[in-house]
Amino acid sequence: MEIIKINIDNQQVQVPKGTTILKAAEIAGIEIPNLCFHKRLNPNSVCRVCVVEVKGESSLVSSCSYTIEKELTIYTDNERVKTARKLVLELIMSTHPNDCLLCENNGSCKLQDYAYQYEVEVFKFTRERPKYNIDKSNPFIIRDYNKCILCGRCVSICHQEQCSDIINYTHRGFDTKVSTYFDRGLEESSCAFCGQCVSVCPTGALSEKVAKGKARSWELKKVNTICPYCGCGCSIDLNVKDNQVIKVTSPENESINNGNLCVKGRFGFDFINHPERLKSPLLKDKNGNFKEISWHEAITTIASKLREIKDNYGSNAIAGLSSAKCTNEENYVFQKFMRAAIGTNNIDHCARL
């Protein structure tokens, strides 16, 4: 692999040939603002916030897609670059609602951060903002097109990662927006509600319906664990407030799932705090009614019944079914119990297939 020396903000950096300027800056410890770029996706150079100056180029270039093929001198934060970025942000903000106090993404919005960093005057450019109804028709995702900046992240991840092509750009000019074919609701499409689009949205245009109004981003404590639903072992972060799981996200750069989740992994956590979740063992009486019993009584009853079946009918008369909602360690102990203590291989798992 050919190594190229470049000068970036007066730092000498060595990078492999074909590396983008954005990646080279990251290697050098320099942060370049960006809205449309995402590590999981191919660059599309839509937002133009990541522009930098390359010595010898007549115009500024987008750092997310400009590849380094020869020695270059690059400026990522001079006055020309900062002026251009501020202008782009002012254009974006000219049609963006400034209701950050009420926005679900307040505190975790990249547009908000960059507008503050570059001291954007929201009303420098004025034109009538589009007025879209907030789509709350499906049980998982809230779509607020008024806050969409057309960065294309949701479109790209639906196409590149999910290979679903559920959403795309519709209409033209100032009327452009991201929607399904024929501008129908997600529930009328073949959308699997994986929530991938929500995970990459840099603004409040897409948000989790279940988390709305329950916590601000800075109030959430992230607890890393493993998704309980199948054998893939995807890494997830439980976003917790007051000992309640508000939503589920996934850390990027993980070797297993790289931030990607399915509908179960992202939205199927309601059983944790569900009011009908069992908290103590139940035993059915002779009349068919359940009553609460202690764990000691429950374990004693189960052991007695299993021993009775084994003595009368043999070990293979007993079968066990484990749950994906248990940890890997619990499932391992259960199968060990069935094979070593009961003496049968009649054991299965709900997510085995």
Q: Render each residue's pLDDT in the chain as its tens digit; 353 residues.
A: 789 999 999 999 999 999 999 999 999 999 999 999 999 999 989 999 999 999 999 999 999 999 999 999 999 999 999 999 999 999 998 888 888 888 989 999 999 999 999 998 766 777 777 788 998 888 899 999 999 999 999 999 999 999 999 999 998 888 899 999 888 888 888 899 999 999 999 999 999 999 999 999 999 999 999 888 877 889 999 999 999 999 999 998 777 899 999 999 999 988 888 888 888 999 998 888 999 999 999 999 999 999 999 999 999 999 999 987 777 788 899 999 999 999 999 999 877 65
For the record, the structure tokens of 285 come out as 């009486």
Burial of 162 (0-12, 13-18, 19+ CB in 10 A): middle
Return the HEC string of 110-130: HHHHHHHHCCCCCCCCCCCCC
Q: What is the pLDDT of residue 204?
A: 92
Domain boundaries, the chain: 3-77, 218-275, 282-349
The one-letter amino acid code at 130 reads P
Nearest-CA neighbor of 169 among 149, 189, 187? 149
The Cβ of residue 30 has, within 10 Å, a number of other Cβ atoms equal to 19
- Residue with the two structure tokens 């789509």: 135
**What's the first-to-final CA gap in the chain, in angstroms?**
42
- The length of the chain in residues reads 353
Do 207 and 246 contact (CB within 8 A), yes or no? no
Kind plus residue range of the DSSP H or E element containing 200: helix 196-200
Residues linked to residue 15 through DSSP beta bridges, in sequence order = 4
φ, ψ dihedrals at 126, nearest 5°: -130, 135
CATH of 3-77, one of 3.30.390.50, 3.10.20.740, 3.40.50.970, 3.40.50.300: 3.10.20.740
pTM above 0.75, yes or no: yes
Nearest-CA neighbor of 229 among 244, 250, 215? 250
The one-letter amino acid code at 353 reads L
For residues 202-241, b (16+ Cβ closer than 10 Å) or e, as one string?
Answer: bbbbbbbbbbeebbeeeebeeeeeebbbbeeebbbbbbbe
Return the HEC string of 216-259: CHHHCEEEEEECCCCCCCCEEEEEEECCEEEEEECCCCCCCCCC
- Taking the CA atoms of residue 264, residue 270, residue 272 and residue 277 in that order, the dihedral angle to the nearest 10 degrees is -120
Q: Is 184 helix (H, G, I), strand (E, B) or coil?
A: coil
Kind plus residue range of the DSSP H or E element containing 27: helix 21-27
φ, ψ dihedrals at 334, nearest 5°: -65, -45
Q: What is the pLDDT of residue 24?
A: 94
Q: Is 44 helix (H, G, I), strand (E, B) or coil?
A: coil
- Residue with the two structure tokens 């007051």: 242
For the record, the structure tokens of 311 come out as 């003595």
Overall fold of domain 218-275: N-terminal domain of TfIIb (2.20.25)
Query: CA 131, 133, 136: angle at the middle one, nearest 5?
Result: 150
Q: What is the pLDDT of residue 353?
A: 57
Q: In sequence order, which residues have a C-beta less than 8 Å from that of residue 113 and are 6 or more positions away?
A: none
